[in-house]
């Protein structure tokens, strides 16, 4: 008989479903305890802060992902007039105020971002009836019906202020924001070892880098992977090409079972990289049915490990390497946008 405190009768092998409670929507962010925050604060020695976000209009165009587009900024309207450099004296004689007000139409995963736990699920027989169904972390199923493809754009064009009913009914990114993501982070500088070229990094190569740089990762730490990809994007000046993107930067090998097991055993609270997707996408081909994004499936669906993509890590990584350090304080909450499956952010690394 099904335990009524759970929404599933069987969980994926190696998953953490239920480990943090039947209704948990934070996953391994639960490991960001006050002690982990204190450990992060203890890494602040010289008081330098680093912006870890690309400009949100990078990479430019939609070569990196055809369904994601650059942000659009538009002025709002004030009594039918363009509300930018607007003189209030046009409405009330004698007013000296000049007002500018705008709106943004954002693709939430276009640039520097967190992937939420509702971003990637899997077909899995959670209820034990022999039929796999779409399921997300901790057995959550129901995702709220989304708007039509043109609705969000139309709302933005009209300057509409009403909230929509689209998005994730459970596992929305607001849970991550309310956690106020902050703690000790560890930089792994893949770029220092493998350079600018596209390199597939599995368990063996990652362990080699950790050993060479004497990097220690403990449960509750946030793992940051510097590949140089975001720095290369900046150099492309919003005109990236498929050829350049495919040839640039290290990516994790999501097909490497030993690597996935290491992520499980390490106890990392989250993973952020400066590349696109953290892992190679699409993953190395394999016969039969399997995930196109196996590391996403392992982290978001099974473990509840949030993934950060397209962070700008190069200046901080260089500073840490010059100082002979790898740990720092990371402050990285997403937007508190209920129902969103992902969010842009401006992370801050403090050393």
State the angle between helix axes of 203-212 and 257-266 in degrees (0 to 180), rounded to the nearest 10. 50
Residue 196 falls within a domain, yes or no? yes
d(C-alpha 15, C-alpha 107), whole Å:
30
Check whether residue 216 and residue 78 sit in a common domain: no
State the pLDDT confidence band at 240, using cuts at 50, 70 and 90. very high
Of 116-120, 140-144, 281-285, the one with minimum mean pLDDT is: 140-144
Is the pLDDT at 102 greater than 80? The verdict is yes
pLDDT in tens, 17-57: 999 999 999 999 999 999 999 999 999 999 999 999 999 99
Q: Please give the residue that has the higher pLDDT: either 275 or 289.
A: 275
In the chain, the N- to C-terminal Cα span, in Å, equals 52
d(C-alpha 291, C-alpha 245), whole Å:
22
SS3 342: strand
Residue 268 falls within a domain, yes or no? yes
Beta bridge partners of 75: 102
Q: What is the pLDDT of residue 142?
A: 61
Residue 294 falls within a domain, yes or no? yes
Cβ atoms of residues 331 and 183 within 8 Å: no
d(C-alpha 133, C-alpha 126), whole Å:
8
Check whether residue 320 and residue 268 sit in a common domain: yes
Query: In degrees rounded to 5, what are phi and psi of residue 139?
Result: 80, 10
Is the pLDDT at 92 greater than 90? The verdict is yes
Is the pLDDT at 152 greater than 70? The verdict is no
Residue 309 falls within a domain, yes or no? yes
CA torsion sign, 187 to 191 to 193 to 199? positive
Check whether residue 31 and residue 98 sit in a common domain: no
Check whether residue 38 and residue 88 sit in a common domain: no
Token digits of residue 344: 């842009």
Q: What is the pLDDT of residue 220?
A: 98
Whichever domain contains 282, its CATH number is 3.50.30.50
Check whether residue 333 and residue 205 sit in a common domain: yes
Check whether residue 80 and residue 200 sit in a common domain: no
Cβ atoms of residues 203 and 251 within 8 Å: no
Element (H, E) at 11: none
Residue 154 falls within a domain, yes or no? no
DSSP state of 324: T
Check whether residue 88 and residue 187 sit in a common domain: no
Check whether residue 101 and residue 31 sit in a common domain: no
To which residue do tokens 């792994």 refer? Answer: 188
Q: What is the pLDDT of residue 166?
A: 59
Mention every residue, 6+ apart, whose C-beta is less than 8 A from residue 107. 68, 69, 70, 71
Structural domain including 99 reads: 72-105
Check whether residue 229 and residue 288 sit in a common domain: yes
Q: How many domains does the chain have?
A: 2
Q: Does the reported pTM lie above 0.95?
A: no
Q: What is the pLDDT of residue 286?
A: 80
Question: How many CB atoms lie under 10 A from the CB of residue 278?
Answer: 25
pLDDT in tens, 250-273: 999 999 999 999 999 999 999 999
Query: What are the distances in angstroms from CA 230 to CA 86, 106, 192, 272, 278?
Result: 37, 19, 15, 12, 12
Dihedral angle of Cα 78, 82, 84, 85, to the nearest 10 degrees: -100
To which residue do tokens 């929404």 refer? Answer: 7
d(C-alpha 180, C-alpha 61), whole Å:
31
Query: What are the distances in angstroms from CA 184 to CA 25, 215, 285, 343?
Result: 21, 13, 35, 21
Residue 146 falls within a domain, yes or no? no
Residue 270 falls within a domain, yes or no? yes
Check whether residue 96 and residue 235 sit in a common domain: no
DSSP state of 130: S
Check whether residue 216 and residue 306 sit in a common domain: yes
State the pLDDT confidence band at 160, using cuts at 50, 70 and 90. very low
Residue 16 falls within a domain, yes or no? no
Cβ atoms of residues 12 and 130 within 8 Å: no
Check whether residue 340 and residue 269 sit in a common domain: yes
């Amino acid at each position: 008989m099904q335990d009524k405190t759970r929404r599933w009768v069987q969980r994926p092998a190696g998953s953490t479903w239920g480990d943090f409670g039947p209704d948990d929507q934070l996953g391994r962010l639960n490991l960001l305890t006050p002690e982990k925050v204190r450990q992060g604060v203890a890494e602040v020695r010289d008081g330098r802060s680093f912006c870890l976000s690309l400009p949100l209009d990078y990479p430019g165009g939609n070569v990196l992902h055809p369904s994601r587009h650059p942000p659009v900024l538009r002025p709002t309207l004030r009594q039918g007039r363009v509300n930018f450099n607007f003189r209030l004296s046009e409405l009330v004689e004698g007013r000296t105020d000049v007002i500018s007000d705008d709106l943004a139409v954002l693709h939430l995963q276009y640039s520097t971002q967190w992937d939420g736990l509702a971003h990637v699920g899997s077909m899995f027989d959670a209820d034990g009836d022999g039929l796999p169904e779409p399921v997300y972390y901790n057995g959550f199923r129901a995702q709220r019906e989304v708007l039509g493809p043109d609705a969000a754009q139309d709302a933005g064009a009209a300057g509409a202020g009403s909230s929509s009913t689209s998005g994730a009914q459970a596992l929305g990114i607001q849970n991550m924001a309310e956690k106020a993501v902050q703690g000790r982070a560890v930089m792994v500088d893949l770029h220092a070892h493998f350079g600018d070229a596209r390199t597939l990094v599995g368990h063996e190569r990652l362990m080699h880098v950790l050993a060479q740089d004497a990097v220690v990762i403990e449960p509750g730490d946030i793992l940051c992977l510097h590949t140089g990809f975001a720095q290369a994007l900046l150099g492309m000046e919003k005109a990236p090409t498929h050829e350049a993107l495919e040839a640039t930067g290290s990516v994790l090998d999501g097909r490497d079972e030993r690597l996935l097991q290491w992520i499980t055993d390490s106890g990392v609270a989250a993973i952020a990289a400066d590349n696109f997707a953290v892992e190679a996408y699409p993953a190395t081909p394999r016969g039969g049915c399997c995930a196109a994004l196996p590391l996403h499936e392992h982290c978001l669906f099974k473990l509840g490990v949030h993934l950060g993509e397209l962070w700008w890590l190069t200046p901080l990584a260089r500073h840490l390497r010059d100082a002979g350090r790898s740990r720092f304080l990371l402050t990285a909450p997403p937007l508190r946008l209920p129902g969103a499956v992902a969010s842009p952010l401006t992370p801050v690394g403090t050393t």
